[in-house]
Structure 1
Amino acid sequence: MHHLLSPSVDIRLVVASHLRAGDPFDPSGRSAQNAALVAHDVFARMGLTAAETIVTGSDEPLSDRRTARPASAVDAIIAEAMRDDVSTPLFYLAGGGLTDIASAWLIEPRIAERLTLVWIGGAEHDGLAAPPPGAMPVEYNLLIDPVAGQVVFGDSDIPLWQIPRDVYRQCLVSDAELRIRVAAAGPLGRYLYEEVASVFRMVATYLGGAAETYALGDSPLVLLTVLQSLFEPDPSSSRHVVRPTPALGDDGAYLDVPGARPMRVYTWVDTRLMFEDLYLKLAEFERWRASSGEAAAS
C-alpha cells in the first residue's frame, strides 16, 4: 500500500510469493496463490485495477541450486528485467523468500546486470550486531527457501542490498501509534490496522499476554527506494556498510568468499522518515477518497 501511494516509482509487478511449509500464517500449501488474492483485495480497496501487475510465484521452494521453479512471476520478472525501452533503475524488492528471483536468475542470468535486489532477511553479521534472545536458528525469511538464498548470495552475481534481522527489528511501532495514525485514516487505514491487530491476537497466547509493539519490518523496502535523496539519489538518511557478499551455509550462516562481489548491509534505517511518510500518505489518500466520494454524490 505504501509503495502504491508513492508517485515517484513505477510499480511494474507485485509478486505474490510463498511461505514455508506449515507456516502458521498460512499452512495451506497454496500460500503464493492466497497472497495473490490478498494483493488483488488491497488494489480493490484502493480503487486500483491490478491488470497484469499482480503475478503469482511458485508455491514450492527450490529443490536444488540448479533447477528453477517455473511460475508466471518468474517469467514476468525476466521480461521486465530484459526490457530495452527504459533506462530507469530497476529494483526487485523482496519482503519474504527468494524463490522467484533465484528462479529467474537460474533461467536468465543476464537479469543480474539489470536490477538491484533489496532483501529483508538474513541473520545478523559478525561485528555488526548480535542475534536477539531466543532467535530462530535460521532467520524467518531465509527459512522460507534456504536454497534460493544460497543461489542468490553464493551463485549469482545479482547486486544486493540486505536489511538483516537486527535492522528490520528496528522498525517498531506501538499499538497506540497504529490506532491513532493508521486505524483512524478511513476504511483503508482501518483494514490495515485490523490486519496487524489479528497478528497481535494470534500470538498473545504464546507471549503470555498482549503486546504493544509490532515491527513493520518490510517498510524499509519503501524507504530505500522511494525516499532517496533528490540530489545524488541514494537512501542517504540510512546507514550501511559495504562487504564482500558471503555464501550461505545450510544453517543460514555466512561463509566468507574471497574476491566476492560487494554488497550493501544496512545497519540503521531512518524510521522517522519512513513512518511519517506512511502516515501522511495514508491520511492524504483518505482526504482524497472522502472528497472524491462527496464530489461523486453531488
Structure 2
Amino acid sequence: MNKHAYPLLSEMEYAKRLTPPKGKISMVLDTDTFNEIDDQFAVIYALAAAEKMEVEAFYAAPFFNELSSGPRDGMEKSYQELLKIRGLMEREDIPVFRGSESYMDAEDLPVDSEAARDLVERAMKRDPEEPLYVVAIGAITNVASAIAMEPRIIERMVVVWLGGHTLEWGDTREFNLQQDLHASRIVLDSGVPLVLAPCMGVASNLRTTLSEVRDYVLPQGAIGQYLYETYRNCREDHFAYSRVIWDIAVIAWLIEPEWAPSHLMPSPRVSEDFRWGIDPSRHLIRYIRYIDRDAVFKDLFQRLAAL
C-alpha cells in the first residue's frame, strides 16, 4: 500500500477518537526497554494501573546508540528486558513480541516483524467504537510498519506516542522521532488518531533523584529493588543530579488526562532536517502541552507501594 491509500476519517471522528478515555482501555506497549531507564518505569507503571488499562501485549522496539550494535541488537536487548520485567511482575500471561530488526527504507516499505503482524491482527479484531490504544515509547517502526501493511487498522486504534520536542523547540531532533524518519512521517501523515507527548518542554518536567527513588521506590520489594538499582547504575555521581523519566508521560495521560493538559491541533509535518511545520488543512491530533510532575510521581510511588 502507498501512503495515499490510508482511510480518511472525518473531523468529528477524530474529535471523538481523541477524547481522553474515561473507562478502562485495552492497550499494547511498544518499547525500546533496554535503551534508557525510563522504559522500565513506564512498563511497570502501566501494569500497576490495572484498573485503568489492560496490557494485552508488549512489543520490543529497535534502537541504536552506545548501548547496542545496531537496531536489531537494540530490539533483542529490549525483548530480553521485557521478559525480565514480566517475570518480576509475575505477568507471564502477557505475550512479548520481537519487533523490527531495522528501520524503514521508505514509507511504503514496512519492516516485517512479529510485533507488526500481531498489531495488525489485534487491531483488526477491534470494534472501531472501542479502539485499541497503541502506546509507543521508542522509535515508531513497529507501529508504522503495521499501518503500512494494513492501513485499515487506522480506523480501529489510537496511537499514544512519546516523540519529538515541543513545537516551540528549535528542532525536533529527538531520539524516538529521528531514528526512523519514514516511520515517524507515517504516524504523523497517515491520519491514524494520534496523541503526541513531546519530550523537551513537556515530558522533560518528569525529573526525579536517587534520594527520592531510594525513599519511595526501593522499599517496595523486588520491583522496587530492580527500579532503584536501574536508576542508581545509570550514573556514577548522583550529587545534585536529577534524571528525566520521560516515558511515564504517556501512561500518566491515560491514567489521568488532567495531569497532562492537551488540545486538538492539525498534525504537524516534519522536515528532512527535523523541524516542525504547521499546515491548518491537515487532520487533527491531540497534543500534550504540559505535565504535572508532582501529581505523576505521587501516583507512581503510591502504585508501587500497593503492589
TM-score by length of 1: 0.82
Contact persistence 1:96–1:144 (CA under 8 A): no
Identity %: 23
1:43 corresponds to: 86
1:160 to 169, 173, 194: 194
Relative to structure 1, the CA distance from residue 36 to residue 101 in structure 2 (aligned partners, 3 Å threshold; closer, same or farther) is same
Instruction: String of CA shifts for 1:193-238, please: whole Å, max 9, x gaps.
Output: 111222223xx6xxxx85521111100121111x23xxxxxx1332
One-letter amino acid of the structure 2 residue matched with residue 143 of structure 1: Q
Structure 1's consecutive aligned runs of 4 or more residues displaced over 6 angstroms after TM superposition are none
User: 1:138: how far off?
Assistant: 1.4
**C-alpha deviation, 1:143, in angstroms:** 1.9
The structural deviation recorded for 1:54 is 0.8
Output the amino acid matched with 1:139: E
Would you say the 8 A contact 2:164–2:172 is kept in 1?
no
Q: Find the residue that maps to 1:4 and give its secondary structure.
A: helix
Distance 1:45 1:86, change over 3 A: farther
Structure 1 distance, partners of 2:263, 2:196, is 10
1:107-126 mapped onto 2 (5 Å cutoff): 107-126=149-168
**What's the CA shift for 1:94?**
0.8
Task: Give the counterpart letter for 2:46 in structure 1.
Answer: H
Amino acid corresponding to residue 147 of structure 1 in structure 2: H
Preserved contact between residue 197 and residue 287 of structure 2 (Cα < 8 Å):
yes
Across the two proteins, how many residue pairs are aligned to each other? Answer: 261
SS in structure 1 at match of 2:45: coil
**Letter of the 1:16 counterpart:** A
Separation in 2, partners of 1:108, 1:274: 35
Picking from 213, 225, 235, the partner of 1:190 is 225
Could you tell me which residue of structure 2 aligns to residue 74 of structure 1?
Answer: 116
The answer as to whether partners of 2:136 and 2:160 remain within 8 angstroms in 1 is yes
> Which one of 212, 223, 246 corresponds to residue 252 of structure 2?
223
Deviation at 1:146, TM superposition (A): 1.6
| Alpha-carbon shift at residue 50 of structure 1 (Å) | 4.3
Alignment equivalent of 2:277, drawn from 252, 255, 261? 255
The answer for the alignment partner of 1:27 in structure 2 is: 69
Q: Distance in 2 between matches of 1:164 and 1:90?
A: 21
- Residue number among 151, 167, 184 corresponding to 2:186 in the alignment: 151
Q: Match of 2:266? A: 244
Distance in 2 (alpha carbons) for counterparts of 1:65 and 1:210: 45
Per-residue CA deviation, residues 84-111 of structure 1 (Å, 9 max, x unaligned), is: 4795342111111110110000011111
Amino acid at match of 1:195: T
Give the aligned CA root-mean-square deviation in angstroms.
2.0
Confirm whether residue 90 of structure 1 aligns to residue 132 of structure 2: yes
Counterparts of 1:73 and 1:94 in 2: how far apart (Å)? 12
Q: Is the 8 A contact 1:58 1:70 kept in 2?
A: yes
Instruction: Identify unmatched segments of 5+ residues in structure 1.
Output: 229-234, 286-298
Distance 1:161 1:84, change over 3 A: closer
Give the match for residue 65 of structure 1.
107
TM superposition score normalised by structure 2: 0.79
The equivalent of 2:216 in structure 1 is: 181
Alignment-mate amino acid for residue 10 of structure 1: E
Of 50, 55, 59 in structure 2, the residue corresponding to residue 15 of structure 1 is: 59
Match status 1:199 vs 2:243: no
Given that residues 172 and 275 in structure 2 are in contact (C-alpha distance below 8 angstroms), is that contact kept between their aligned partners in structure 1? no
2-structure distance, mates of 1:109, 1:153:
14
Could you tell me whether the CA contact under 8 Å between 2:166 and 2:172 is conserved in 1? no
Q: Describe the superposition over 1:21-60 as per-residue Cα deviations: whole angstroms up to 9, x where unpaired.
A: xx01323541111111101111111222145x21111021
Give the secondary-structure state (helix, strand or coil) at the position aligned to 2:97.
strand
Q: Which amino acid aligns with 1:4?
A: L
Q: Which amino acid aligns with 2:63?
A: L
CA contact (8 A) 1:123 1:252 kept: no
SS in 1 for 2:289: strand
Does structure 1 retain, via aligned residues, the 8 Å contact 2:262–2:288?
yes
Contact 2:172–2:276 (8 Å) recurs in 1: no
Q: Which has the larger radius of gyration?
A: 1
Q: Give 3-state SS (helix, strand or coil) of 1:199's partner.
A: coil
Q: What is the rounded CA distance, in whole Å, between the counterparts of 2:270 and 2:250 in structure 1?
A: 22
Q: C-alpha separation between the residues in 2 aligned to 1:151 and 1:14? A: 21
Letter in 2 for 1:215: V
2:123 and 2:153 in contact (8 A); partners too: yes
